[in-house]
Amino acid sequence: MSKDALIHLGAKIGADVPFFLYGNAALGEGTGNRLSYSTPLSDVYLIIINPGFPISTRWVYEQFNTNLLLTKNSDHIIMIKLFLEKKDFQQLGLYLHNDLEGVVLKRYPLVGEMKDRLLSAGALGAIMSGSGASVFGIFSELPLAEKAFNQIKRGDNEWKIFLTKPLG
């Protein structure tokens, strides 16, 4: 099968499946099914926090106002692409946005607490991944990321915490 055929088939399985079949860094629009090439995030470090419990994607979408289009603001997407190309991670962090967070935070305020911990530890930006429950923060320097990782890990929580670097 061609890559396009695989991506089309993958979208029938789940909205985020095409991303994993794409094979490159990608920017997802819509429900994540419209993919375009993105500059890889090879010069940043990420801290990923998982609270240790799942959030049902089906539940999130059932609660979400279906009249809204996900990633509908094309100007916002254009700016994210620009900041990725320029490797301006400070500005990129300010533009991170996930429409599904509004639904999740009402029922799972711990997700917001995880974001706050990342930001207060020095993340340039923090955002919930997909429909949750994991959250990640972007750091431009390894020493700052390591300090934040250790600070968050020392907290009184059951979170699973990872420090990683995206694949180039």
Confidence at residue 82, expressed as pLDDT on a 0 to 100 scale: 75
**Largest Cα–Cα distance in the chain?**
49
User: CA-to-CA distance for 117 and 69, rounded, in angstroms?
Assistant: 29
Q: pTM of this prediction?
A: 0.80
CATH number listed for the domain at residues 39-164 = 3.30.70.890
Confidence at residue 70, expressed as pLDDT on a 0 to 100 scale: 53
Distances 36 to 76, 138, 159 between C-alpha atoms, Å? 15, 21, 33
Confidence at residue 109, expressed as pLDDT on a 0 to 100 scale: 96
User: CA-to-CA distance for 89 and 9, rounded, in angstroms?
Assistant: 34
Confidence at residue 67, expressed as pLDDT on a 0 to 100 scale: 45
User: CA-to-CA distance for 61 and 100, rounded, in angstroms?
Assistant: 8
User: CA-to-CA distance for 7 and 21, rounded, in angstroms?
Assistant: 6
Domain(s) of CATH 3.30.70.890: residues in the chain? 39-164
List the chain residues with pLDDT less than 50: 67, 69
Residues pairing with 127 in the sheet = 136
Confidence at residue 119, expressed as pLDDT on a 0 to 100 scale: 96
- At 26-63, the pLDDT tens digits run 777 766 667 777 777 778 899 999 999 999 988 998 88
3-class DSSP assignment, residue 82: helix
